A and B are shown apart, each in its own frame.
Chain A
Amino acid sequence: MNPGVVLFHTTTAALRAEKTAQKAGLKVKLIPTPRELSSDCGIALRFDLADRQPLEQALSAAGVEGEFHELKAE
């Protein structure tokens, strides 16, 4: 899979996003926020870029604001 990552301003928002995504049947994982992206909050949501559209929709419907990024290979 090609991974993407969603960043949040608070850990609570990240945890809410994880639950929201799982309810929508999307495979996601909370990971330490990649330092090159932000130091906003300690955890970020990793997802499969193929799921970007349904994930954006699910988060937006739940009112969770997040910032979507592609994860570049090292």
Chain B
Amino acid sequence: MIYLDHAATSWPKPPEVLAAMHDFLERAGGNPGRSGHRLSIAAGRVVYDAREALAGFFGINDPLRVIFTLNATHALNIAIQGLLQPGDRVVTGGMEHNAVMRPLRGMEARGVQVVVAPADGAGMLSPAAFAEALQTGAKLVIVNHASNVCGSIAPVAEIAALAHQAGALVLVDAAQSAGVIPTDLPALGADLLAFTGHKGLQGPPGTGGLVLADTFDPAQLQPLVRGGTGSRSEYEIQPDDLPDRYESGTPNGAGIAGLGAGLKWLLERGAAVREHELALAARLREGLGNIPGLQLYGPADPRQATGVISFTLAGKRVSEIGYRLDEEFDIQSRVGLHCAPAAHRSLGTFPQGTVRLALGPTTAPEEIETVLRAVARIAQT
């Protein structure tokens, strides 16, 4: 099988991830932060070590500013619902996933003004479009760091500088970028960054987080979920302390153990992972571009994109292409709208969608050649 759906979830996970999860359940199985016995402390240490490693990975000093969540969607909802009030204005770009657009439309119904700075036909966001949208100010700017549809990488630092000049906070959706390209909060100019654990970071599903910049004041961010934290138990009001303010309920300890192992695996490989994916993406784009009737989407320069490639074939439904890739060639892709109708509108592929091929660290060069032969065959018949 050739697995090219890493943008949905990375697979296979490194064996170290499975081992860490097994070890957590077998050896450190207490409830982290709820009791004082050894199993609880052991579990707490595993969660803390992952928190500390992630803080370093995202370029912040204080590990308590890494808030664990179920996924990027959960983290984005904490930020969007916790920061915005009726009457606020929020600016986002034309490449957003529904993980941003749906909470934003929900807030719009409650009196938040939502402005979308358009993307171009290659899926690129322009600082000029954000500058124009920011002329009347905003409370928050939300930027999709890398598109889940065509891989395009946004000029986040430039957009963030404009946002800060206009007095807005910056929230970065790093669901597709974390573990794939640098996601250092200070370098990006992000005040808040949402990530998922089960894609580029190689961890299991059910993990993710919201990272708060060292300079961000949490007083302006209301918690989404309130409840038990194992701390300040004598009070029935939610504590203000980080990370407990945003982490009520038992955390996904086994998942977080796996996420920590995934991050370690990735850090051991360093920049080689990105270079590997870039080389394969360049070859895949080149080969697909030579197939008659095939339309590629996204930036022509592979360095402006992650290893996520979208295409359509003239006269073929994307669902048929995806089905044939799977049935005839054992190639796993994802077709359709990829939960991102806004991005597909920007690319001109709404509502039919595209076929998406998403590379990962374990994708082999010969698999790319097999995929190219398969797509060429489907195009002919």
Contact = CB atoms under 8 A, between A and B. Distances in A.
A19 B52 contact: yes
A14 to B, nearest CB: 8
Contact of A43 (B36, B64, B232): B36
B63 to A, nearest CB: 6
Interface in B110-147: none
Interface string B51-72: 1100000000111100000000
Nearest to A41: B231
A10 B48 contact: no
Contacts, number: 72
A9 interface: yes
A52 to B, nearest CB: 22
Nearest to A63: B62
A43 B48 contact: no
Contact of B242 (A10, A11, A30): A10
Is the contact region of chain A dominated by helix, strand, or loop, or is it mixed?
mixed
What bracket does the count of chain A residues touching chain B fall in?
20 to 34
A15 B44 contact: yes
Interface in B192-235: 229-234
B140 to A, nearest CB: 27
A40 B44 CA distance: 16
Contact of A12 (B34, B37, B64): B64
Interface centre among A10, A13, A16, A40 (most CB of B within 10 A): A10
A39 interface: yes
Contacts of B35: 32, 42
B48 A19 contact: yes
B287 interface: no
B239 interface: yes
B231 A10 contact: yes
Contact of A10 (B41, B45, B229): B229
A12 B45 contact: no
B51 A43 contact: no
A12 B40 contact: no
B293 interface: no
Interface string A28-71: 00111100000111110000000000000000000100000000
Given A10-B230, A40-B233, 17 more contacts: A9-B239, A10-B229, A10-B241, A11-B230, A11-B231, A12-B33, A12-B63, A15-B41, A16-B63, A18-B45, A32-B37, A39-B234, A41-B230, A41-B231, A43-B36, A43-B40, A63-B61
- The 4 A-B residue pairs with the shortest CB-CB distance in the complex, in nearest-first order: A32-B36, A11-B33, A15-B48, A9-B241
21 contacts: A10-B229, A10-B230, A10-B241, A10-B243, A11-B231, A12-B33, A12-B44, A12-B64, A16-B52, A18-B45, A19-B48, A19-B52, A32-B37, A39-B233, A41-B33, A41-B230, A42-B33, A42-B34, A42-B40, A43-B40, A63-B61
Interface of A: 9-16, 18-19, 30-33, 39-43, 63
